[in-house]
C-alpha cells in the first residue's frame, strides 16, 4: 500500500493536487477503538472467529482497512463514530455465523449495504467501537420479473448496478433512484429515501417482500414470503396477520438480506418539464397549486420545487459569483437567475403515458401553475445544454447520475448534511419552513440549499447545506445549526423524516407525545427482538439497555 507520506511527496505534488493534504480523516489519529466493555484480547478472539467465517481478506481491522468505514462528511471529530473493525459476509449463512460470534463475544454490529449514505453518516456507526457489518459483497440481482414488474435484490446492489443490468438485458422496466446514483437500492429504501419517478416514495410504492436475519440468527421472510411456495411474495406485500416490514426500516431490529422491489414499466411516452418562478415567496402559491394536482395524480411523479442555489450549484461554483465570506448576496443571486435562466423557485415534473393522455394532462398543469406570478414553462428542447434540466430529466425516468453532487462542489473541499422536516402540502407551511430555515442558515453563515419534494400527500423539505471539511469551526457551527433547526421544527410540530448519526437521539427525543410512548415502545421491541443488544446500538435513537450509558 502506498504510504500517505510518499504519496504527498510524490505524484500528488507533481499533479498539482496540493489539497490532498487536507483530505484524509485519519491524518491526526492512530488509535484503535474497542467495543464498549470489551477487552482487546476478547475482541481479537472475536475477530479471529469472524475470519474463519468470511476469510481474512474480508475482516478489516487496521487503519488502512478501515479507511472506507468513516463518515467522510463528518461534522464531529472522527473518534465520535470510529468503528472497531469491519467484516463483509457474502451469504445469509455467513451473517448467521457472524451474529453468533457477536452474541457470544458481546460485539455490537452496525449494518451497511452500500455505505454511500453521505449526508446522513455514510458507512460509519452511531456508537464508536461498533463493528461494521458490510453487506456490499451481497450484490446479487436475484430475479427480474418483466411480467409483473419487479426485481429481487441483495443489499449490495446499487442503483447503477440495477440500472446497468436492466439496460444490458433489454429490460422494459425503469428503476427509481435517489439523486446520487451511487446509492443502494435496499439501503435507501430501508432509510425511507425518495426518488423522482411515479415510484418515488420507495418504501410505500416499491418494497414488496423482505428477508431478514434476527439477532438470534433466525431467518424470516415477511408477508407472502412466509408461506411455502410464496407465489405472490413480490406482488402482494401484506401476507396474513400483522404487516411487519416497516419495523425493519430505520431500525435496529434485524439485518435485511433481500428485498423485492417493484419497478415501473417503461411508459409509451415521457415529457419532462420545468416551470420557473422569480419570487422567493412563490413557494406558497406553487405549493397550493401542486396539492390538488398531486392528490388527483395529474402530476404522477415525485415532483420537486428547488430553490435557486441548489439549482445553480449543479452548473457553477460559488467563487464564480461571490468570493467573500458568508451566504451569497442578493446581487449575486439575481445574476445567477439571469445567467442560468432559472428562478428563485424551479419546479420539475414530468408527463408519462400515451401521447393522447399527456396531451390531455398538460393544459391542466399549465393552467394551474401558469396562474402564479412570473411563471415560465420550459421543455427539454428549451433547456438543451442545461446540466440542471438534464439531470432532473434523468432522475424523473430513473437514470442514475451524480450531477446533484455539484452542490458539494459549490465550495472547495466540502461536505453536505441533510435536514429533512416533513411538511403537509400546504403553501403557508412551506413558506414558513423556507423562511425559517433560510433565516437560521443565513445567520449561521451558510447558503440555503433547499427543495420541497412532493411524494403524494406530504412534502419532504430537504435542506442539504454544504460546509468545509477542513474547517473545524465551520463544522461545529453546522452541527449547531442543525440542532437549532430540529428544535425550531419541533416547536412548530414538524417532524424530521431522516437524520444524520449525530442527531438521531435529538430527533427521536422530539417524538415525545405521551411521555415518549413511541420511544418506549421502540425500546420494548428492541429488547424483545434483540435481547443481546448487538444490532446497531443507537440507530434512530433506539438503544439497547447494555449500551444506553455508553451511547451518551
Partner 1 sequence: MRGFIPCAALFLLSLAGCKAGKDEKVAIADTRPKTGKELYEHWCAACHDAGPGHPGTLRMAGDFGDNRSVLIGREGVDKDLVKYAVRNGFNMMPPFRPTEISDEELELLAAHVAGGKP
Catalytic (active-site) positions: 120, 497-498
Q: Rounded to a whole number, what is the distance in angstroms from the first to the last CA of the chain?
A: 37
Judged by CB under 8 A, the chain residues 504 through 523 that form the site for partner 1 are: none
Q: Output Rg (C-alpha) for the chain, integer angstroms.
A: 24
Judged by CB under 8 A, the chain residues 240 through 299 that form the site for partner 1 are: none
Residue ranges of alpha helices (H) inside 341-496 are 355-370, 387-395, 427-444, 472-491
Judged by CB under 8 A, the chain residues 452 through 481 that form the site for partner 1 are: 469
The binding track of 48-87 with respect to partner 1, each residue x by CB under 8 A or -, is ----------x-x---xx-xxx--xx------------x-
The length of the chain, given as a count of residues: 552
Q: In the complex with partner 1, which residue's Cβ is closer, 18 or 269?
A: 18
How many residues touch partner 1 under the rule CB under 8 A: the total is 86
C-alpha of 275 from chain center: 26
Instruction: Give the nearest distance from C-beta 440 to partner 1 in angstroms.
Output: 24
Relative orientation angle of helices 40-54 and 92-105, to the nearest 10 degrees: 170
DSSP string, 215-277: TTS-EEE-GGGGSTT-TTTTT----SS---GGGGSSSSS-EEEEEEEE-EEPPS-EEEEEEEE
Instruction: Give the nearest distance from C-beta 353 to partner 1 in angstroms.
Output: 25
**540: phi > 0 → left, psi -120 to 50 → alpha, else beta; which?**
left
Judged by CB under 8 A, the chain residues 388 through 417 that form the site for partner 1 are: 390-391, 400-406, 408-409, 412-415
Distance CA 298, CA 289 (A): 12
- According to the binding rule CB under 8 A, does residue 2 interact with partner 1? yes
Q: In the complex with partner 1, which residue's Cβ is closer, 113 or 215?
A: 113
Closest of 155, 150, 141 to residue 234, by C-alpha: 150
Q: In the complex with partner 1, which residue's Cβ is closer, 228 or 528?
A: 228
CB neighbours of residue 147 within 10 Å:
6
Q: In the complex with partner 1, which residue's Cβ is closer, 36 or 181?
A: 181
The binding track of 310-329 with respect to partner 1, each residue x by CB under 8 A or -, is ----xxxx-x----------
- According to the binding rule CB under 8 A, does residue 547 interact with partner 1? no
Instruction: Give the nearest distance from C-beta 370 to partner 1 in angstroms.
Output: 28
The binding track of 6-25 with respect to partner 1, each residue x by CB under 8 A or -, is -x--xxx-xxxx-xx-xxxx
Instruction: Pick the binder of partner 1 from 176, 221, 447, 502 (CB under 8 A).
Output: 221
Instruction: Pick the binder of partner 1 from 9, 52, 169, 331 (CB under 8 A).
Output: 169
- According to the binding rule CB under 8 A, does residue 145 interact with partner 1? yes
Which cell numbers hold the place of 27?
491524518
Instruction: Give the nearest distance from C-beta 322 to partner 1 in angstroms.
Output: 13
Judged by CB under 8 A, the chain residues 110 through 129 that form the site for partner 1 are: 114-116, 118, 122-123
Which cell numbers hold the place of 68?
472506507
Instruction: Give the nearest distance from C-beta 262 to partner 1 in angstroms.
Output: 16
Which cell numbers hold the place of 510?
422530539
What is residue 201's DSSP assignment?
B
Instruction: Pick the binder of partner 1 from 220, 364, 387, 532 (CB under 8 A).
Output: 387
Beta pairing partners, 414 = 468
- According to the binding rule CB under 8 A, does residue 144 interact with partner 1? yes
Judged by CB under 8 A, the chain residues 321 through 380 that form the site for partner 1 are: none
Q: Which stretch binds partner 1 (CB under 8 A): 226-234, 342-350, 445-453, 514-522?
A: 226-234
- According to the binding rule CB under 8 A, does residue 93 interact with partner 1? no
Instruction: Pick the binder of partner 1 from 81, 126, 136, 237 (CB under 8 A).
Output: 136
Q: Are 338 and 230 in contact (CB under 8 A)?
A: no
Relative orientation angle of helices 427-444 and 472-491, to the nearest 10 degrees: 150
Distance CA 404, CA 402 (A): 6
Q: How many helical (H) and strand (E) elements, i.e. helices and strands, does the chain have?
A: 17, 21
Amino acid at each position: 500500500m502506498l504510504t500517505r507520506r510518499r504519496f504527498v511527496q510524490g505524484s500528488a505534488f507533481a499533479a498539482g493536487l496540493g489539497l490532498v493534504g487536507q483530505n484524509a480523516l485519519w491524518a491526526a489519529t492512530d488509535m484503535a477503538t474497542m467495543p464498549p466493555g470489551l477487552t482487546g484480547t476478547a475482541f481479537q478472539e472475536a475477530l479471529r472467529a469472524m475470519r474463519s467465517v468470511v476469510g481474512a481478506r474480508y475482516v478489516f481491522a487496521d487503519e488502512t482497512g478501515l479507511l472506507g468505514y468513516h463518515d467522510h462528511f463528518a461534522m464531529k471529530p472522527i473518534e465520535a463514530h470510529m468503528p472497531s473493525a469491519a467484516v463483509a459476509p457474502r451469504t445469509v449463512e455467513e451473517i448467521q455465523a457472524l451474529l453468533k460470534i457477536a452474541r457470544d463475544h458481546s460485539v455490537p454490529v452496525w449494518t451497511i449495504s452500500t455505505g454511500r449514505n453521505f449526508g446522513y453518516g455514510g458507512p460509519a456507526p452511531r456508537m464508536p467501537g461498533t463493528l461494521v457489518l458490510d453487506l456490499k459483497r451481497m450484490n446479487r440481482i436475484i430475479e427480474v420479473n418483466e411480467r409483473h414488474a419487479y426485481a429481487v435484490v441483495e443489499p449490495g446492489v446499487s442503483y447503477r448496478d440495477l440500472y446497468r443490468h436492466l439496460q444490458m438485458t433489454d429490460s422494459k422496466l425503469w428503476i427509481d433512484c435517489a439523486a446520487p446514483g451511487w446509492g443502494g437500492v435496499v439501503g435507501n429504501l430501508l432509510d425511507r429515501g425518495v426518488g423522482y419517478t411515479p415510484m418515488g416514495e420507495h418504501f410505500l410504492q416499491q418494497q414488496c417482500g423482505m428477508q431478514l436475519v434476527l439477532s438470534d440468527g433466525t431467518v424470516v421472510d415477511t408477508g407472502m414470503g412466509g408461506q411455502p411456495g410464496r407465489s405472490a411474495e413480490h406482488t402482494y406485500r401484506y401476507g396474513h396477520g400483522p404487516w411487519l416490514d416497516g419495523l425493519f426500516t430505520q431500525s435496529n431490529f434485524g439485518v435485511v438480506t433481500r428485498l423485492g422491489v417493484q419497478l415501473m414499466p417503461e411508459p409509451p411516452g415521457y415529457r419532462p418539464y420545468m416551470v420557473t418562478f422569480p419570487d422567493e415567496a412563490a413557494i406558497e402559491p406553487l405549493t397550493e397549486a401542486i396539492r390538488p394536482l398531486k392528490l388527483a395524480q395529474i402530476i404522477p411523479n415525485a415532483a420537486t420545487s428547488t430553490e435557486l442555489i441548489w439549482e445553480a450549484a449543479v452548473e457553477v461554483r460559488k467563487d464564480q459569483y461571490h468570493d467573500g465570506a458568508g451566504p451569497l448576496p442578493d446581487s449575486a443571486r439575481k445574476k445567477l437567475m439571469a445567467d442560468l435562466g432559472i428562478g428563485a423557485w424551479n419546479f420539475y415534473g414530468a408527463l408519462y403515458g400515451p401521447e393522447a393522455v399527456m396531451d390531455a394532462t398538460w393544459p391542466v398543469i399549465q393552467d394551474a401553475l401558469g396562474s402564479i406570478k412570473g411563471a415560465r414553462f420550459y421543455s427539454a428542447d428549451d433547456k438543451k445544454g442545461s446540466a440542471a434540466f438534464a439531470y432532473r430529466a434523468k432522475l424523473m425516468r430513473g437514470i442514475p447520475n451524480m450531477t446533484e453532487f455539484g452542490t458539494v462542489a459549490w465550495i472547495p473541499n466540502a461536505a453536505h448534511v441533510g435536514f429533512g422536516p416533513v411538511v403537509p402540502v400546504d403553501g403557508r407551511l412551506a413558506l414558513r419552513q423556507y423562511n425559517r430555515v433560510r433565516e437560521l442558515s443565513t445567520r449561521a453563515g451558510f447558503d440555503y440549499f433547499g427543495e420541497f419534494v412532493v411524494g403524494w400527500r406530504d412534502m419532504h423539505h430537504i435542506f442539504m447545506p454544504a460546509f468545509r471539511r477542513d474547517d473545524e469551526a465551520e463544522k461545529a457551527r453546522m452541527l449547531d445549526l442543525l440542532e437549532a433547526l430540529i428544535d425550531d421544527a419541533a416547536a412548530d410540530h414538524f417532524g424530521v423524516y431522516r437524520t444524520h448519526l449525530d442527531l438521531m437521539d435529538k430527533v427521536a427525543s422530539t417524538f415525545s407525545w405521551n411521555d415518549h410512548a413511541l420511544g418506549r415502545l421502540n425500546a420494548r421491541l428492541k429488547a424483545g427482538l434483540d435481547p443481546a443488544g448487538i444490532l446497531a446500538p443507537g440507530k434512530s435513537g433506539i438503544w439497547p439497555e447494555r449500551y444506553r450509558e455508553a451511547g451518551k
